[in-house]
Structure 1
Amino acid sequence: MKLSVLDRSRTRTGVGHAEALRETVAFARAVEALGYHRFWVSEHHGVPGVAGSAPTVLAAAVAAATSRIRVGTGGVMLPNHRPLVVAEQFGVLDSLFPGRIDMGLGRSVGFTEPVRRALGRVDASSATSDGFEEQVGELLSYFADTAAVRAYPAPGRAVPAFVLATGAGAGVAARLGLPLVIGGFRGEEAMLSAIAGYRSSFRPSAWAAEPYVVVSLAVAVASTTEDAWRLLVPEAWSMAYSRTRGEFPALRAPEDILSLAMRPRERQYFEESLRGHVFGTPTEVAKALDGLRARTGADEVLVTTSTHDRAALLDSYRLLADLPAVGG
């Protein structure tokens, strides 16, 4: 089971957006040395605590700073872009870094109504309609050189495409014959059902001959279970804060968060945000990932962990990469 990384360029207390982007590039070099398979960056708009707003630009910087690891997006949100422009951007990336670029494609829109309006969306539902499948199909046609317009330098370039599953995304991936990236955002039962449906209805294509499943989740590894759990606390509090105040804050140290007098609703969201992740000692995490692989049949795990302490985060990824049962 291959191991890959998704980094959102999260800010931390005392560390702003510019430094967060530089840290992402440095982090990519570090995990490449550890043997990780892919390094993906994300797309967020108008989110104070996330610097990753232009994934193809950041992917170019990451690819230029590395030499082996695959680089891509997790993902480019197609409702925000014209497929022609996306094809041109990835055609340029693959021309500059041939054989190393991935297209992770999503359908999510802005986090708040003002951001959605700024992106040209009246509401969330207007951007998550069935048009996503047509957008993906149009994007792929530029690489296959079957579109009415040629998206230079995309024609003939074999850039792997992945569908990030939100809502009906698993069905889109199956019908178009693309690899699926899925997380337990609605609970493991829903995730397993989506994976089973994807595999049963998968149509082989020029992009993938058979189903390929990437499970996305946070994984934290440390010398003790408690230390691993504490790595998850900053992001969990950020999620709880966003659900009660409408914006993501910079990541705070876990000791600061655990000393807060949380309101009942904040406590509820905080505890919910800590569920569904894998954390513990190397032995505990190896066992948990073996179980995950057995339940999902995952071909790959996309690790999405963020935390306040960057050194501890890299130690976690180092310990994870050293697990013989899952390394790749």
Structure 2
Amino acid sequence: MTAFSVLDLSPIVEGGDARRGLLETTAFAQAADRLGFTRFWVAEHHNMPGIASAATAVVIGQIAGATRRIRVGSGGIMLPNHAPLVVAEQFGTLEALYPGRIDLGLGRAPGTDGETARALRRYFEAADQFPRDVMELQAFLDDPVEGQRVTAWPGAGSKTPIWLLGSSLFSAELAAHLGLPFAFASHFAPELLLQALQSYRAGFRASKTLDRPYAVAAINVFAADSDAEAQRLSTSMQQAFAAVVTGKPGRLKPPVDDIASVLDARQLAAVNSRLTYAAIGGPERVRAKLAEFIALTGVDEVMVTGMIHDLDARVRSLEVTAAAAEGL
């Protein structure tokens, strides 16, 4: 059977604040834990007023401490923003506190704009060093070798699982070359999904951590007790997508009855292109869409995501999704 996991962007809703966003993410993770999802990931974004997970490792620690068995990790840490040693220490610490439950997903994009990258004291050309930095990070998390002058304490010997994330062919090819699991961000960049999966599988070389390709793909899911209610819930994320496209990201807005009343035709076209892979509806429709996505991609694991304004509706969406996914 296909595994199912959750990606949460830790949204800050209109009228709310970061504390509320983080507490709601924690409650949402507890629901995912209770419902049997495999893993729960949060992502690093900077200078985004509607996302509370900028200090990603800190948020992971909070979630892991509040859950029992679910794996918790990053989807992802944007490695160009960080020294590999610091990331190894952070995730080595998390692995020491929550052994066997931590994932380290890595992205190549800075996760922000140029001015914010400079404020982070990192630069866009750092992305060009991504393969080298991944291998350096792997070495810090592996067993120390004789004569090693710099060691991550904690971190060394933890062998915290590393994943490569991407929305292009670059990370797919690198994950294949290094023999690492690969997750594709088809929830916001669907265009190259099938090509990236094909490239990853064709080029995969077994490693000491993985003997066969392991692929994950993300899909937007808005599930409810009826198709109409699910469609309405999805309008919060549609507004968020439109805000990013127009360069005006903000806090997550409440859903609306008619999305065409708040977005123009150009915005709607941009939003719909990002929702190429989406399961929006009641239980039967969501199950059919998830089955279709699995058949199309052949992935080992589906990562569901969806920014829903109200926490109770978010949890209900996850409950409907869990029931719909059973046996797929």
1:287 alignment partner in structure 2: 288
Q: For the structure 1 residues 173 and 212, does the alpha-carbon distance in structure 2 shift closer, same or farther, using more than 3 Å as the test? A: same
CA distance in 2, matches of 1:191, 1:232: 22
1:85, distance to aligned residue in structure 2 (A): 0.8
**What do the CA deviations read for 1:211-256 (whole angstroms, capped 9, x no partner)?**
1011112112222222222222111111111221x23211112227
CA distance in 2, matches of 1:127, 1:88: 20
Identity, in percent, stands at 39
**Counterpart amino acid of 1:292?**
F
**Counterparts in 2 of 1:127-166, with a 5 A limit?**
127-129=126-128, 131-144=129-142, 145-146=144-145, 148-166=149-167
1:205 alignment partner in structure 2: 207
8 Å Cα contact 2:165/2:184 also seen in 1? yes
CA RMSD of aligned residues (A): 1.9
**Counterpart amino acid of 2:190?**
G
User: 2:190 aligned with 1:187, yes or no?
Assistant: yes
What TM-score does the superposition give when structure 1 sets the normalisation length? Answer: 0.92
2:51 alignment partner in structure 1: 50
CA distance in 2, matches of 1:324, 1:97: 28
Aligned length: 322
Q: Mind listing any 5+ residue stretches in structure 1 that lack a counterpart? A: none
**Counterpart amino acid of 1:237?**
Q
Q: Mind listing any 5+ residue stretches in structure 2 that lack a counterpart? A: none
**What do the CA deviations read for 1:132-174 (whole angstroms, capped 9, x no partner)?**
1111111001122246421112222131111001331101110
Secondary structure of 1:255's match?
coil
1:6 alignment partner in structure 2: 7
1:268 alignment partner in structure 2: 269
User: 2:304 aligned with 1:306, yes or no?
Assistant: no
**Counterpart amino acid of 1:136?**
V
2:117 alignment partner in structure 1: 116
8 Å Cα contact 2:236/2:256 also seen in 1? no
Q: For the structure 1 residues 93 and 287, does the alpha-carbon distance in structure 2 shift closer, same or farther, using more than 3 Å as the test? A: same
CA distance in 2, matches of 1:54, 1:69: 20
**Counterpart amino acid of 2:32?**
V
8 Å Cα contact 2:64/2:98 also seen in 1? yes
CA distance in 2, matches of 1:326, 1:54: 36
CA distance in 1, matches of 2:55, 2:12: 15
CA distance in 1, matches of 2:282, 2:250: 28
Secondary structure of 2:48's match?
coil
**Counterpart amino acid of 2:52?**
A
1:186, distance to aligned residue in structure 2 (A): 4.1
What TM-score does the superposition give when structure 2 sets the normalisation length? Answer: 0.92
